Amino acid sequence: MRRLNLSILAIYVGILTSHAQAQEKQPSDTANYQSRKLHLDEVNIVSAYYNQDGNNSAVTGGIGTEKLIDFANTLDVQLSILNKKAHKNTFLFELGIDHYTSASSDKIDPNSISSASKSDTRIYPSVNWTNTNVKTGNAFGLSASYSHEYDYQSFGGGLHLTRVSKDKNRQFDFRGQVFLDRWSVILPVELRPPGYGSGAEGDSRPIDYKPRNSFSAFFGLSQVINTRLQGMLAIDPSYQHGLLATKYQRDYFTDGSERVENLPDDRYKLPIAIRLNYFLEDRFIIRTFYRYYMDNWGIRAHTAEIEVPVKLTSFVSLSPFYRYNNQKGTRYFTPFGQHKPTDTYYTSDYDLSTFHSSFLGGNLRLSPPRGVFGWQHFNSIELRYGHYIRSTGLNSDIVTVALKFK
């Protein structure tokens, strides 16, 4: 269940990274501009430990262990320089390294000592450049990324655009991204043609490789409604084409036959989200979020979240949160042994099934005015814990630590 693991990690690490990054400071006097050298703005280090368990592994047809452990780390370094036109060029360099062990993936070949995907390390560097007009707040930028794991490699690129109204109360954001992936077609041991390789290191037998390309856009409109209330509307359409089925996942049929997972080669996704932040008083903020999701595989989902940051002291804050998700599954899903032999597309991956889930926890942030442990450049430290519960029986826990240096 590697896919679920990455999605949950993205939620945690994304939230912590956004919390850890401070707003860029604008120069107080750009008229008397003096040449500035490239300098270090901040460094962020985020580490997360994730552990999940369940009994609906897609590798073994919707039954069996989903035990997985993942240790994820990201390091990002932000540099900037201000030019003569009062434009700030910001460069963000990020390196991510994940290492996981998966009991379910080890069932690709249960007779081997260890299959190719029992454990692996994923490495994903990226670079981002942004040019910001300090006076207006308008910005434009480009990004590039790379990711590598035992069964795939991915190249990514994107651009982003920000436009701010003259009164600074309205902001429009656009992002466009493309990811070009190459998958190794790894098959369950009993379904491999004669001479077909396992994909494991040291196995020289040939295997197939298939592309999977993803294209996405983001349109966001933020508005300051009044002194206490801010809102945002976001639309995040995407399109995928290529190998979208995971070919080492088994499916079992009513006639007793067995095949590898088969799904359409095209997928359209359309999430629409609304976010409202209400500043109750100096010490309390109420952050709410709602998203509706739909795609052409028949999945429909509603997600609602609330987070309430509380400022305990001038430099300590606590943010409990709760997220609820209700999903109607794809038309291609059935549990173990219930697919019809005449079906064209089929999966027993419970990520694509009908379920509801809860995700709850809290975030503790310390940002002493003289720095953490008295080190002024150690700006803040955050500790976040979350527990995930799904109606299918999957449970997970994650602990995340974020450090910021300025």
Q: Is 91 inside a domain boundary? A: yes
Mean pLDDT, range 92-116, rounded to an integer: 78
User: If we measure between CA atoms, which residue out of 141, 179, 303, 298 comes closest to residue 234?
Assistant: 303
pLDDT of residue 110: 77
Mean pLDDT, range 112-133, rounded to an integer: 80
pLDDT of residue 13: 43
Q: For the chain, what is the domain count?
A: 1
Q: Is 32 inside a domain boundary? A: no
pLDDT one-digit tens code per residue, 241-296: 999 999 999 999 999 999 999 999 999 999 999 999 999 888 899 999 999 999 99
Cα 211 to Cα 225: distance, rounded to the nearest angstrom: 45
Cα 62 to Cα 399: distance, rounded to the nearest angstrom: 28
> Looking at the chain, how many residues does it have?
406
Residue 385 Cα distances to 1, 201, 316, 388, angstroms: 21, 36, 16, 10
pLDDT of residue 374: 84
pLDDT of residue 252: 98
Q: Is 33 inside a domain boundary? A: no
Question: How much is the mean pLDDT over the chain?
Answer: 89
Q: Are the CB atoms for 1 and 57 separated by under 8 Å?
A: yes
Mean pLDDT, range 294-322, rounded to an integer: 96
Portion of the chain with pLDDT greater than 90, in percent: 78
Q: Any idea which residue has 């990226």 for tokens?
A: 126
Q: Is 31 inside a domain boundary? A: no
Q: Is 30 inside a domain boundary? A: no
User: If we measure between CA atoms, which residue out of 300, 301, 318 comes closest to residue 309?
Assistant: 318
Q: For residue 297, what is the domain's CATH number?
A: 2.40.160.40
Q: Is 17 inside a domain boundary? A: yes
Is the pLDDT at 167 greater than 60, yes or no? yes
Comparing 111-125, 135-149, 266-280, 303-317, which segment has the lowest mean pLDDT?
111-125
Using a 10 angstrom Cβ sphere, with 0-12 exposed, 13-18 middle and 19 or more buried, the burial of residue 22 is middle
Q: Is 323 inside a domain boundary? A: yes
Q: Is 13 inside a domain boundary? A: yes
Cα 33 to Cα 107: distance, rounded to the nearest angstrom: 63
Domain with 328, as residue range(s), is: 2-22+38-405
Is the pLDDT at 31 greater than 50, yes or no? no
How many CB atoms are closer than 10 A to CB 150? Answer: 17
Compare 176 and 110 and report the one with higher pLDDT: 176
How many CB atoms are closer than 10 A to CB 249? Answer: 24
